[in-house]
Amino acid sequence: MDKELIIRSSSENVDFALLKDGKLIELQKDEDSNDFSVGDVFIAKIRKAVPGLNAAFVNVGYEKDAFLHYHDLGPKLPSLLKFTKRVSTGKLKDFSLKNFPFEKDIEKDGKITDALKSNQSLLVQIVKEPISTKGPRISSELSIAGRYIVLVPFSNRISISQKIEDREEKDRLKRLVKSITPSGFGVIVRTVAQGRKVAELDKDLQNLLSRWTAMCKKLHKAHHPSKVLGEMNKASSILRDIFNDTFTGITVDDEELYIQIKEYLQEIAPKKESIVKLYQSKVPIFEKYGIERQIKTSFGKTVSMAKGAYLVIEHTEALHVIDVNSGNRSNKANSQEDTALEVNLIAATEIARQLRLRDMGGIIVVDFIDMTTAENRQKLFNHLRDEMKDDRAKHKVLPPSKFGLIQITRQRVRPEMNIKTREENPNGTNGSEVEAPIGLVQKINHDLERLFKKDYKKLTLNTHPFIAAFLTKGFPSVRSKWFLEHKKWVKILPRDAYTYLEYHFFDKDGNQIK
């Protein structure tokens, strides 16, 4: 399995595309204008506490106040408030927490008005970026993420990732981390720490403690509200969270970013430094790796899959709905049930990819093709869960109902990736739009495969002159690739009278194929 990270840089933002065996599975943007990223820590002011919501609205400098629920305060809130006040006023210059006296924890189900007051200063962390009309969601239970561990100030707990299943390894990591963690701090051990030595864990811990100290130094002169601890640059944070030994390549088209990534890999995985490559071709990097084409064909309302099947993805205010369709696939299965299972398994793989790719969150309802046997429904459920194992967002998949519906909840911490795939209609007016030409070519490809399976000897394709030129020009042309793959030549005739997206196939007798 090849795993590649392709990074495209421009003056305004940086795009990160994660490929698995050449297929796009994750797409992220790092925009200069985004001042409220997940993980950023702000010194903020409490605007007002709302007893009815048991929450407070907090001014973090965004146009809408951030939302802080009582359950996101953390039990050590009184200690955090006392520490923030003493550091801000310059009375406390030791940031180690070793000699800092902790206050009594707040009640688990207490009231927001007992915990916070208007105009109070408080350190808060972004846990959900501003989405639509809502401000950021925040927490006052701070954590600073590293490569192998997450540092949690004002805590004494050592937690191990649930994805580490080996009991002996869990005990070993707990013992090691306990021996190096300073008083006043807790630690969450991440999955990638599995098999690591104490020196690697300690280096990560010292780096996080230095970031904590640097943040505390800013508090004395900081404006309220202002950011006091920012997430590391997007390239490093993505590598920190997803990089592992299965990566086969990292390609970047910007020299400065290339140097940054090499330096970061030298720290976290020196043996893998050689997989970082600087891209210097004149062909745009996303075009070279086929990412632009995949973006155009993956973000529309309709998503094509193998064997003619397709998904229809609809968005509402409350939830996302995905409909699975078998389309015009040729049926070689023994029964309708086998066909339904085959299409559903293909769809489950694509749905897991789409959720990551678009970063869809909230409630997702999937209408799979009905299956009568409980065994097949269980097989589908297991397959979907397995496909979603690599998804870093917290999620839960419920078993299918008798109607073939599967409900998924997926954590959403940033706005959904929404890419415009339709283009201005060259034949139309009043701002009408059409499907991107690259999407049309994919449709023609699917139709051709279906017709070749039906053993048509000679095929003629009539289409708009622009599309005809796209299919026949260049070396190798799209038509040449068809010939190499199917060993059959397709005659292409441009038709001036056709609209931009119109095309029809004809057989050897000149009859139109419906």
Residue recorded with tokens 């995949």: 294
Split at pLDDT 50, 70, 90, the class of 174 is very high
pTM over 0.85: no
pLDDT mean over 82-89: 91
Picking from 493, 506, 495, the residue whose alpha carbon sits closest to that of residue 458 is: 506
Of 129-138, 195-204, 289-298, which has the strongest mean pLDDT? 195-204
- Helices 437-453 and 291-298 cross at an angle (nearest 10°) of 80
- Comparison of pLDDT for 306 and 135, the residue scoring more: 135
Phi, psi for 312 (deg, rounded to 5): -115, 120
DSSP assignment of 170-211? HHHHHHHHHHHPPTTEEEEE-GGGTT--HHHHHHHHHHHHHH
Q: Rounded to an integer, what distance in angstroms lies between the CA atom of residue 374 and that of residue 217?
A: 60
What is the phi/psi pair of residue 47, to 5°? -80, -55
pLDDT at position 318, please? 74
pLDDT one-digit tens code per residue, 244-278: 777 889 999 988 888 888 888 887 778 888 899 99
User: Cβ neighbours of residue 283 under 8 Å, at least 6 residues apart?
Assistant: none
Which of 97-101, 103-107, 166-170, 455-459 is predicted with the least confidence, judged by mean pLDDT? 455-459
What's the pLDDT at 304?
82
pLDDT of residue 458: 83
Intra-chain end-to-end CA distance of the chain, in Å: 40
- Residue-by-residue DSSP string for 2-58: -EEEEEEE-SSEEEEEEEETTEEEEEEEEETT----TT-EEEEEEEEEETTTTEEEE
pLDDT of residue 32: 57
Q: Which residue has the tokens 């944070």?
A: 237
Strand-pair category, 512-513 with 149-153: unpaired
Sequence letter at residue 341 = L
What's the token pair of residue 145? 């993420």
pLDDT at 1: 66
The encoded tokens of residue 123 equal: 């350190």
Q: How far apart are CA 407 and CA 364, in angstroms?
A: 6
Reported as a single tens digit per residue, the pLDDT across 398-429 is: 998 877 799 999 987 666 666 655 666 665 55
Angstrom distances, CA of residue 275 to CA of 3, 176, 261: 11, 31, 11
Give residue 294's pLDDT: 84
**pLDDT at residue 410, as a whole number:** 92
Backbone angles phi, psi at 74, to 5 degrees: 85, 145
Q: Which residues lie closer than 8 Å to 132 by C-beta, 6 or more apart?
A: 415
pLDDT (0 to 100) of residue 390? 82
Q: Which pLDDT does position 257 carry in this prediction?
A: 85
Q: What is the pLDDT of residue 160?
A: 94
- The pLDDT, as a whole number, for residue 287 is 85
**Can you give the pLDDT at residue 426?**
62
More confident position, 304 or 433:
304
Give the separation between CA 190 and CA 162, rounded to whole angstroms: 9
- At 418, list the tokens: 């929404």
Q: Cα separation of 215 and 142, whole Å?
A: 12
Nearest Cα to Cα of residue 88 among 227, 230, 226, 217: 217
Indicate whether 282 pLDDT > 90: no
